[in-house]
Structure 1
């Protein structure tokens, strides 16, 4: 056992010694960390001592290597755009090291910095179509970290980077986010029960928001699955869907029936309607109008926030559209001008031909002898 621990310490010391080389640029450090951390973790994982891996992860933290990883992840991703894969791999390894580690008294601040780094990287990857697989990899790392450290959920929901991810219109990004929460709830049976009531309501709002704003069947099916998973694990602690999301049952019947997951839709509608008190039709109509007004106001405010946040992109799009329209108008004007010039030249040519014809006729007439 002591020999196994000494082997891990030697690998960590060697990795730290190599990282002390000040001539290395950030990209070289990331490649070295990916190789070194893989070697250290694999060496500990294949040992018979079950507690060795946890001790190795703690040693990586106390040696300062994990802090260096977080520093690279937080400050240098934008400079490594040509090597996003290596950066995503580093994020994956950092998350793995934080699951089961014992960082000590300052763990909360360190774990918060790890989560900030992961979300910052994810927000940069989501806007690149070719990097969506890496975005999924980083969000999987976020899921592992949340499953092991539930208290970080509040940080995720209050994060500006995660809000930026939520505002993304890409269907794949929305689906990956919902699947991330499903995976977290599945991996940790205590995840939902350890959440505060506010965090549970925020998670429900994210799923319901996707049902209200998305028309994609995969996103809708995943959102319904997440709500059913929360209902199954939380039981009576689940916030009232009828009180917090009025009209959700009608939305499910209207927009999501017949989309390939009717059983889940019917189950969720049954849960909602089991909460619903018996009210007369007039009261229900009044509540529907009020709910519709609230939804419309929320939707308008959501659109306004999104427009403000995406103002630069909107301005670029408008400028691009204006330039395209101007170019199209100029091309049309040039084509029209060329057509008019062609018609004018053709008209002149015909007039000249007619004049030449008449001149030849007159010349021929002049050659005839005068009539008697």
Structure 2
């Protein structure tokens, strides 16, 4: 049996291939706008800008959550301009004050503008396909993939145990630009072999328990925090606090579990919080990491301390990963590198590569086509 290979380097730098990804990967992909508890009240909204499209998700007068293209039907103005906000009972475009009902219906234009014969039935906001799963609001721009529920089905029971639908936001969305291809971020997220090499703190905490596996549409990575005290203060204090969380089932009190949904959505599930990340492609060599933490409504001093220590620990992990992926991106641009062998244990990278090659035939070429 031949040794599996990584995706060719040119796929991480080529603008023409990036355009194919826009069409064949991201148009059909499910993107997270946010969580249902980001918008608990009538008129609360969230926005998402991705690859030239803009979405607004709003809770209606009937409490239903709906998603629309965030584009005014008059002159394409951006109707909702903040990442999260509240608009009362109307979405109003700040350009010319055209307004829309919370169900997307056209509400009207100012009378002084002279639009006396407009047909409101033709001017509603254009809807976006939406699915709510595990409390998170997913949208997509074209059909093609299975439902989110079907894609996450291999882990549905264990995800249900985390009660993700009860989460509330802890802070605001953070955007972190990175000078790398989006696939480099995702590859690193699902890579288990670099943990004992490049993450000494994580290695101390997980003590050899880190594992990975790949299902058709979702990867899982996980490890158990050791009870052996770390010689690092932040890690040691975090370990102590985990032992006090008796409201969490025993098997989850020290579990760190990570899930990556095809192609670019990730959840870090800890005993103390859930971090959501999205690797938003900007260009062939630019990615925006969009992230926010969610928590269960527990305001105990111990829980807040654990969340702070978690942040300290993972800030270091993120710094280490940033150096790694930027170094890999630079290596992808080297004339010396085309592709590399993958270990049979690198199941997530093998699965990801197989799907990319199936979706985009050019991904099977070791070098970029001449034209």
Structure with the higher strand share, 1 or 2:
2
Structure with the higher helix share, 1 or 2:
1
Asked which structure has the greater RCO (Cα within 8 Å, sep 6+), the reply is: 2
Larger Rg: 1
TM norm. shorter chain > 0.5: no
Q: TM-score, normalising length from structure 1?
A: 0.20
